[in-house]
Amino acid sequence: MRLRKLVAAAVPLPALLGLAVAVPAAAASEPLVTLADNAAPLVDSVRTGDAAADRPITAALSLKLHDQQALEKFLADVQNPASPQYHRFLTPAQFTARFGPTQADVDKAVSFLGKSGATGIEVSGNRQAITFTGSAAQLESAFRTRIGTYHDRVSGRDFFANDAAPALPAGVSDVVGGVVGLDDHAVRTHSSKAAVKPNVVKAVTPPVLKTAYGTSGLSATGSGVKVGFVEFDGYQKANITKYDSTYGLSAGSVTTVPVSGANYDSSPGDGQIEVELDIEVVHALAAAAGDYVYEAPNSSAGELAMYQKIASDHTVNVVSISWGACESAEGSSAAKSVSNAIATGTAEGISYFAAAGDDGTTDCYRQTGSTAKAVDFPASSPNVTGVGGTQLTVTSSNTYSSETAWNDGASNGSTGGGISTVFAAPSWQSSQSTTNRKVPDVSADAASGSGYYIYTAGSWETVWGTSGAAPLWAAFATLQNQVHGGGLGNLNPTFYSIGNGSSYATGFHDVTTGNNSLHGTTGFTAGTKYDQVTGWGSFKGAGLSGLIG
């Protein structure tokens, strides 16, 4: 059950690029710097007109981090057992002092926004993002681009977008990494129940998951650990309570954390099934953890604000992510801005797990109709553990029997996987012979035949997809936080070290059969150890726990 971004696309009309826009008088004489990464990904859309001048738009500036090279070295050292920096994570204040924007950077950006007429200016707690609202006319003037209305020929959806990459005065561009939210083509939707009912062989429940994946022998329950959930919809606590009581789970508290004023719990939308799936799957293995459900506006600015709040709050130890988009739909600037927020949280010891997608190796298919190979974001971020999907088979006593790559065809989906076009391969992935980041890193049950049996919106449902596998790995990481007495940060370097070592079979189920070919495109094939279908495989709970330092 993957949550998707619908993205419209089109090549901006050449004639529009020469249209003049008003320029604030104070900045008219300054040299302009074009933010090339910030062009809206308009692949298969038609421009239908100009956005109304008085249309209010909420957007955000993502400010540049300082000393990026030193940050990359710190992120490597803090996960290296041989380094004196190993697991010496930073507080938010320490991160900001070493790598974050300065107050002078913030003041420069805020001054620019104020002179442009923006209102509702809000700076994130770690100074990395500034959210604001302005009319279309004000933003056209501020960012030197027209904002048009478009029609997506694939989804049939109408949206607004900047016709060309925005530009900033040179004196401001030196502190701004990106502008997020000059379009609303990236509205997130979900597909948490497939159009076709699943052919369930055996639905998975807490007893099945604990036994099959080997966590029943662990003494940990998640107690004392806090789990964050990235959500764009709400939930009802009564449904969570029903699930817990049915399986005798002694659960911790569930708390909603509104972001930018969003709180959907009084009237959840059709994404409710995703939110409740995420929480209940974590409860299946680590019920005693405290849950923090971050709910943000369904927009690019809202998405960035949520990831920044998770990092600046530094409340949670583990984050589960089941909402995503193919990289070209997300857009390079937005992806890099969110990835910086995730890197911040990683430096503070937070572990992130994200679903790898449900459209096989053609992750853009549902958004743009493209059958080109593509991967899902934020699973492709180097500081996120991307989680693929498998078909789990168990014995009559629920013990592990086998797994194969999840591929239920076009109707019910297949596990995502492939090569990023945005992010370079991190050092710990060098053994996979690639210059760009590969996903997934690991995998777990996601098939319709072994779907997750959950209680949602007042009834029992069987739900499947990598958005069930991601919270399952987040639950395992939650147990590890308790076992090892603190945050573990980015676990990928550990997973790859184990995968390349002699203890691999102790920690992982190697999934060696199946593929993620879908929609007529040949994908990747599962094989021995790492592959771009199931990563290193699924966890052997007690075995992998003993290998994590």
190-230 pLDDT per residue, tens: 555 544 566 788 899 999 999 999 999 899 999 999 999 99
Predicted confidence at residue 360, as pLDDT, reads: 96
Gyration radius of the chain over CA positions? 22
pLDDT for the residue 434: 77
Which residues pair with residue 455 across a beta bridge? 460
| Tokens of residue 238, six digits | 């009564």
Chain position carrying tokens 């076992």: 483
Least confidently predicted of 16-20, 118-122, 261-265: 16-20
Residue 7 predicted with pLDDT over 50: no
Q: What's the pTM value of the predicted model, to 2 decimals?
A: 0.93
Q: What is the mean pLDDT of residues 360-373?
A: 89
Instruction: Give the count of beta carbons closer than 10 Å to the beta carbon of residue 510.
Output: 18
pLDDT, tens only, 374-401 = 999 999 999 999 999 999 999 999 999 9
Q: What average pLDDT does the chain have?
A: 91
What was the pLDDT predicted at 192? 54
264/450 Cα distance (integer angstroms): 30
* Other CB atoms within 10 A of residue 125 CB: 15
Tell me the C-alpha distance between 296 and 322, whole Å. 14
Contact 9, 41 (CB under 8 A): yes
* Residue 208 vs residue 153, higher pLDDT: 208
Q: What is the pLDDT of residue 309?
A: 98
**Is 453 buried (19+), middle (13-18) or exposed (0-12) by CB count in 10 A?**
buried
- Arithmetic mean of pLDDT, 536-544: 98
Distances (CA, A) of 273 to 287, 460, 510: 18, 11, 30
| CA max distance for the chain | 75
pLDDT tops 50 at residue 62: yes
Confidence of residue 1 (pLDDT cuts 50, 70, 90): very low
Task: Return the half-sphere exposure (C-beta side, CA atoms, 13 A cut-off) of residue 278.
Answer: 34
Q: Which pair of tokens denotes residue 113?
A: 């926004």
Q: pLDDT tens digits for 82-107?
A: 999 999 999 999 999 999 999 999 99
Question: Does the pLDDT value for residue 14 go beyond 50?
Answer: no
Integer Cα distance of 455 and 216 in angstroms:
22
Side-by-side strand order, sheet with 176-180:
119-123, 129-135, 56-63, 176-180
State how far Cα 214 lies from the chain centre: 27
Predicted pLDDT at 10: 35
pLDDT for 4 equals 32
Euclidean distance between CA atoms 224 and 88, whole angstroms: 20
> What six digits make up the tokens of 542?
């007690």
What's the whole-number mean pLDDT along residues 450-472? 96
Look at residue 194 in the predicted model and tell me its pLDDT.
45
| CA 324 to mean position of chain CA atoms | 5
Q: Quick check: 422 pLDDT over 70?
A: yes
What confidence category does residue 3 fall into, taking pLDDT thresholds of 50, 70 and 90? Answer: very low
481 dihedral zone (left: phi>0; alpha: psi -120 to 50; beta): alpha
- 377: amino acid identity, one letter: F
Measured CA distances, 33 to 118, 161, 385, 421, 433 (Å):
20, 20, 35, 24, 36
Model pLDDT, residue 521: 96
Pick 184 or 533 by higher pLDDT: 533
Statement: residue 361 has pLDDT above 60: yes
Cβ burial of 25 (10 Å; 0-12, 13-18, 19+) is exposed
Could you give the residue ranges of the DSSP H alpha helices within 287-359? 300-313, 327-330, 332-347
- Residue 114: strand, helix, or coil: helix
Lowest mean pLDDT among 5-19, 243-257, 335-349: 5-19
**Amino acid at site 487:** G
Most confident of 6-20, 141-155, 492-506: 492-506
Tell me how far apart the alpha carbons of residues 436 and 438 are, in angstroms, rounded to a whole number: 6
Paired residues of 162 in beta bridges = 147
CA distance 24 to 140: 10
pLDDT in tens, 225-252: 999 999 999 999 999 999 999 999 999 9
- Percentage of the chain lying above the pLDDT 90 cut: 83
**What mean pLDDT is predicted for residues 357-364?**
94
The pLDDT of residue 5 is above 70: no
Amino acid 190: pLDDT: 56
Q: What is the pLDDT of residue 37?
A: 82
Give mean pLDDT, residues 157-178: 94
Task: Quick: pLDDT tens for 467-512.
Answer: 999 999 999 999 999 999 999 999 999 999 999 999 999 999 999 9
328 pLDDT above the threshold of 60: yes
Q: Locate the DSSP E strands across 19-128.
A: 32-34, 45-50, 56-63, 119-123
Question: What is the rounded average pLDDT of the residues 127-138?
Answer: 97
Of 346, 295, 341, the C-alpha closest to 62 is: 341
